[in-house]
Amino acid sequence: MSLTPSPSSAPASRWVVLAVICSAVLVVVIDMTVLHVAAPALTEDLQPSAVALLWIIDVYPLVVAPLLVASGALGDRFGRKRILLSGLVVFGLSSVLGAFAWSPAVLIGARALMGVGGAMILPATMAIVRDVFEDRDERRTAVGIWSATMAGGAAIGPLIGGFLVEHWWWGAVFLINVPVVLIVIPIGLKLLPNSKALVPPPWDTLAVVLAGVGILGIAFGLKQGARHGFVDPLVLGVLIGAIASLTTFVRRQLARPEPLLDVRLFADRAFSVAVGCVLLAMFGLVGLELFFAQYLQLVLGLEPLAASVRLLPLMLASLIGGLLAAPILRRVGTRATIAGGLALTTISLVPLLALGLDDQFLLLGPPFVALGFGLEIALVAANDVIISAVPAERAGNAASIEETAYELGGGLGVAVLGSILAAVYTDALGVVPGVSAGDMHAAGESLGRADEVSHGLPASVAEPLLHAARTAFMDGLHVVLLASIGLIAVSTVLAFVVLRRRESSAVPVAAGDARAH
């Protein structure tokens, strides 16, 4: 049982709580996307290597993912309100550090601390939604609004970031978090419910360590394997150790009557498929937003704000998808919503394979709309399956699993697909006549570095170098698109074949809800 507002409380109070929760989510989500349009300016100032730039971008989700299990359990034990507000404090302070970072290493460290704060915030918000909204139809609407907030934050993040980069400096993109944090914390202290499990499971330090080491090891191993090969001794050792750690974690949880994380949830076929779809979808697509931001700025030569406007159809379609997901779910059911959304996402990626060095504005718009809408309704439906699989007293468990799949998928997508793009780019660049070996080596690190190198060369040499670098980048982008299409197609088939049609009147959570209340 949970300490929640009574069912007889005024309905408006639940929606006020949701507004506070969505404000906290907004802080985290803006930070996920605001850096994408700032990456070229950041690269010019701090001059990180291609590997360091990837770490700056994806260290955040790679830190979030291993900590979600622990933070979800801490929320169940000590109160989700307390964990959420503490996470906002950590997030705000680390944002200030990131804004004034003086080296790539400092920025990576600040982003890692933001990951700690984000890991505390996200499961708590979703667990409170699960706890406060007892009616499933209301909960679907609330989840849709929560998801639409994430999409909306992703939409305004690049726009705000583009404006700030053009008028101030790249560090300003982190400072936009601070006012929101300062507003949400006092309001949250007054309005958020003291939601927690009445009898939380015993704390298991070893389980937290095993889960963290395993998830981080998988992420690091796949990231390094994509760049150095999976037969590399270090990569093999890390992956084997990570698998062993996760195996021990699962066995330990199965052996305990009150596990820290109830892995038995994966015995539910719908739950497992929903988690898998979230993981694969985020793996295949999160990195694409970063790569398209680089494409628009470094290949087409758009300014940050103009590049953000080009990405706006994708974000706005996601926002609309989040708002419409609940009525679509009620009308066609879970399987059709997830499989249909993923199928639309897969189809939308195919025309993007025709992108080249020329500006093709009309080619980007419609696929971006279909991509954002299809992915969002699929993710909301999968989220509904996941958080409805447990009683409210274990909401932190389900929220931790869902957010782990979301963040781990996104982090691995940026890391692995980014490494693949970088490897293809380096191989395809070759040698440009008139460019020294040292300059070619620097240009081979990334398209941003090639652009920097070209500024110090005569025009007769700089233009061929830039053309070769942009062509090589497009080769890498096409490979990444093909990989993403394959992953989302697999997710589509998985959802369609394995998920049975689920009507809202026949959901396994009903018994769980009865037990919880």
Task: Give the separation between CA 234 and CA 240, rounded to whole angstroms.
Answer: 10
State the burial class of residue 436 (Cβ atoms within 10 Å of its Cβ: 0-12, 13-18, 19+). exposed
Alpha helices in 79-135 (DSSP H): 80-99, 104-132
Is the Cβ–Cβ distance between 308 and 162 less than 8 Å?
Answer: yes
pLDDT at 3: 43
Tell me the CATH number for domain 11-195+260-502.
1.20.1250.20
Q: Which phi and psi angles does 113 have, rounded to 5°?
A: -65, -35
> Could you tell me if residue 133 is left (phi over 0), alpha (psi between -120 and 50 degrees) or otherwise beta?
beta
Task: Give the separation between CA 40 and CA 162, rounded to whole angstroms.
Answer: 11
pLDDT at 240: 93
pLDDT at 247: 92
pLDDT at 475: 92
Residue 511 CB contacts under 8 Å (≥ 6 apart), including other chains: none
Domain assignments of the chain as residue spans, ordered by start = 11-195+260-502, 204-259
State the burial class of residue 442 (Cβ atoms within 10 Å of its Cβ: 0-12, 13-18, 19+). middle
Residue 197, strand partner residues: 2
Which residues of 433-474 form beta strands (DSSP E)? none
3-state class of 67 per DSSP?
helix
DSSP for 296-364 reads: IIIIS---HHHHHHHHHHHHHHHHHHHHHHHHHHHHH-HHHHHHHHHHHHHHHHGGGGG--SS--HHHH
What distances in angstroms separate CA 90 from CA 100, 116, 178, 242, one per listed residue?
A: 16, 7, 11, 28
Per-residue pLDDT of the chain (517 residues; tens, 9 = 90+): 344 444 434 444 888 888 888 888 888 877 776 776 677 777 777 777 766 777 787 777 777 777 877 787 777 777 888 888 999 999 989 989 988 888 888 889 998 899 889 888 887 887 788 777 777 777 778 877 887 777 667 667 777 777 777 778 888 888 888 888 888 898 888 888 777 666 666 777 888 888 888 877 887 787 777 667 778 888 889 899 999 998 998 898 888 877 777 778 787 787 888 888 888 877 777 667 778 878 888 888 887 777 777 877 887 888 788 788 888 988 888 888 999 999 999 999 999 998 888 887 778 889 989 988 998 888 888 887 887 766 655 656 666 777 777 777 776 777 778 878 888 888 888 888 888 888 888 888 778 788 888 887 888 888 888 888 899 999 999 999 998 898 889 889 888 887 765 444 344 433 333 333 3
Give the closest residue to 77 by CA, choosing from 198, 258, 188. 198
Is the Cβ–Cβ distance between 238 and 224 less than 8 Å?
Answer: yes
State the burial class of residue 198 (Cβ atoms within 10 Å of its Cβ: 0-12, 13-18, 19+). exposed
Tokens of 13: 């109070």
Task: Give the separation between CA 447 and CA 469, rounded to whole angstroms.
Answer: 6
If you compute the radius of gyration of the chain from its CA atoms, what whole number of angstroms results? 22
The letter for the amino acid at 401 is I
Task: Give the separation between CA 283 and CA 436, rounded to whole angstroms.
Answer: 37
- Dihedral Cα 144, 150, 154, 159, nearest 10 deg: 90
Say what angle helices 395-412 and 205-228 make with each other, to 10 degrees. Answer: 20
Residue 349, strand partner residues: none
Give the closest residue to 53 by CA, choosing from 44, 65, 43. 43
Residue 2, strand partner residues: 197
206 sits in which H/E element: helix 205-228
Neighbours of 504 (CB within 10 A): 13
pLDDT at 379: 85
Task: Give the separation between CA 189 and CA 81, rounded to whole angstroms.
Answer: 8
Task: Give the separation between CA 209 and CA 246, rounded to whole angstroms.
Answer: 10
Q: What's the pTM?
A: 0.72
